Structure 1
Amino acid sequence: MNEFAEDNDNGSDVSSSYGGNNGSVVSTIADRNGFLGGSQYSPDPQQIVPRSVILKRERKWIDMMGKWEKVKNDNYKKLRERCRKGIPPSVRPRAWLYLCTSNQNKKLFSPHYFDNLCAQEGNPRWNEDIRKDLHRQFPYHEIFIKQEGHGQKDLFNVLKAYSIKNPNVGYCQAQAPIAAFLLMYMPAEDAFWCLVNICDEYLPGYYSQGMETLQIDGDMLFAFLKKFSPHIHKHLKKQKIEPILYMTEWFLCVFTRTLPWPALLRVWDMFLCEGPSVMFKVGLILINLSLRSKTKSYSALKKQYPTMYETLEALRNPPTHLLEEDFLVRQVNSQYF
């Protein structure tokens, strides 16, 4: 069984007119994020930031990237502040690559490295597993909607290249949505270097056999929960609900299959700048929003979520209507550690 096979509209096949058969595609025109259907499709216009503000932010980012090493080393607080405000869409792909600084350097010194990896045959076991997962990654997005289209081919190459570069890890299913997400905003080579950095430097050990690091981080999340939301911690402990039961997909996929798209982009702006601490903050927010009650008491939670089933259902289905991007970012930057 595919551990990360999706059973909702983010993972099922698409309409026959686009290579699938369930008729869930709702438009022939992609929304502002490239979706033609599915739960992430949003025909409504995005909240408009004044054009003058956007241009001002763009100029600041372009200037900052022109002296990147100095900014990163000498003015990190300013960099963090600008990431928290949100990276302008026009410069986000380049900024994300720069935030993965060490791999930007690797790219500069190894211009043909990715192409050489793509040209290799790779491990047949990993190749087969990757091919099985290609159609499950955002099938309603315009670059992945066509079976064996350029998006799926790029996704295969990025994942295969990583499995060759790091044979000790090979391929983990949770890498696929991250790679697909990156490919929506940058060329395959850049997506590869960002994936390498995320897997090997931001989240080392997450995608190895056994996932011991993920389990350790789950215990850390539970410890933070005890400090900041003791009534929820007591409720989960009484029902013997281990963190690994609800936070695995959140952390392994860095929320790419959890958050509404506008909020997801803002979280990634911060995650690539500040690292895994952002994941813990978002995780705590999701737990608190999922298990919300009128009073912050264990008895209220026990009444509202009497068994493990109700509690896990709530945790596995965070209330996305409450996860508006500005609200979520304010929560991330004002609460916890």
Structure 2
Amino acid sequence: TSSTHDRTEDGGEEDLWVKWGHIANDWENNWKKQNVQIRELVRRGIPLHFRALVWQLLCGATEALRKKLYAEYIKMPEEEAFAVLVKIMEDFKMRDMFKPSMAELGLCMFQLENLVAEYLPDLNQHFQSQNFHTSMYASSWFLTLFTTALSLPLACRIMDVFLSEGMEIIFKVALAMLTLGKEELMSLDMEGMLKGAINEVIVRVG
């Protein structure tokens, strides 16, 4: 029945919260012993209540915060956000994305272009025929980790996995979005894509 189904869903959600509570309470040992299982849980989505803390744990930000009375800082969202930002910039090569040369961003564009050529050859050929370069549509995806291109709930799910597995998830999401929007993208000309229609397609399929 519907009520039984609701109770089952509620019970599953409660179990998930209990799991994350145990994991967060002894993060270092759990991460060493259950790395694979925790990554799978992250892919299922970190519960909203735990997200701020787990993001810090995933990127090691709590270690720095403990040295400055972590118990006090955890009450301050600005401190949490800044700690995570610093670790992302330092440990996930995001700092290199914003250097004057933007060499890291250029490398990501090169890698994505090759992936599109391999997995979506028709779309790649269409982009080339329109002189529509990868950097014209994908730069912001990598610079903002999709936070400006997709809905907030979906962007948060992507960030969950990014902090757990790194930049690979951004390439996977980029390919998935292009695959889902392929038919519509193939119908756009250079002018249409430059006017931002490609981002509208990505938002719809996302």
User: If the length of structure 2 is used for normalisation, what is the TM-score?
Assistant: 0.85
Consecutive unaligned residues in structure 2, runs of 5 or more = 1-7
- In structure 2, distance between residues paired with 1:278 and 1:232: 21
Q: Which residues of 2 match residues 74-93 of structure 1 at below 5 A?
A: 74-93=33-52
- In structure 1, distance between residues paired with 2:132 and 2:171: 18
Among 143, 148, 165, the alignment partner of 1:252 is: 143
What amino acid sits opposite 1:106 in the alignment? A
- In structure 1, distance between residues paired with 2:199 and 2:176: 13
- In structure 2, distance between residues paired with 1:58 and 1:234: 47
Identity of aligned residues (%): 26
| Structure 1 residue 65 corresponds to structure 2 residue 65 | no
Q: Which has the higher contact order (CA 8 A, sep 6+)?
A: 2
Is the partner of 1:246 in helix, strand or coil? Answer: helix
- In structure 1, distance between residues paired with 2:121 and 2:155: 27
Consecutive unaligned residues in structure 1, runs of 5 or more = 1-48, 116-184, 294-299, 324-337
Residue 126 of structure 1 is matched in structure 2 by none
Residue 87 of structure 2 is matched in structure 1 by 197
Among 279, 283, 291, the alignment partner of 2:174 is: 283
What amino acid sits opposite 1:310 in the alignment? G
Q: Which residues of 2 match residues 1-337 of structure 1 at below 5 A?
A: 50-101=9-60, 103-111=61-69, 187-202=77-92, 203-293=94-184, 301=186, 304-305=187-188, 307-312=189-194, 313-323=196-206
Per-residue CA deviation, residues 248-267 of structure 1 (Å, 9 max, x unaligned), is 11111111111112212211
Is the partner of 1:50 in helix, strand or coil? Answer: helix
Structure with the bigger percentage of helix = 2
Deviation of 1:322 (Å): 2.9
- In structure 2, distance between residues paired with 1:230 and 1:186: 48
User: What is the total number of aligned residue pairs between the two structures?
Assistant: 194
Is the partner of 2:48 in helix, strand or coil? Answer: coil
Per-residue CA deviation, residues 306-333 of structure 1 (Å, 9 max, x unaligned), is x31123433232343332xxxxxxxxxx
Is the partner of 1:318 in helix, strand or coil? Answer: helix
- In structure 1, distance between residues paired with 2:137 and 2:29: 40
Is the partner of 2:193 in helix, strand or coil? Answer: helix
- In structure 1, distance between residues paired with 2:9 and 2:204: 25
Residue 157 of structure 1 is matched in structure 2 by none
Deviation of 1:55 (Å): 1.1
Deviation of 1:220 (Å): 0.4
What amino acid sits opposite 2:164 in the alignment? C
- In structure 2, distance between residues paired with 1:94 and 1:195: 13
Deviation of 1:186 (Å): 6.3
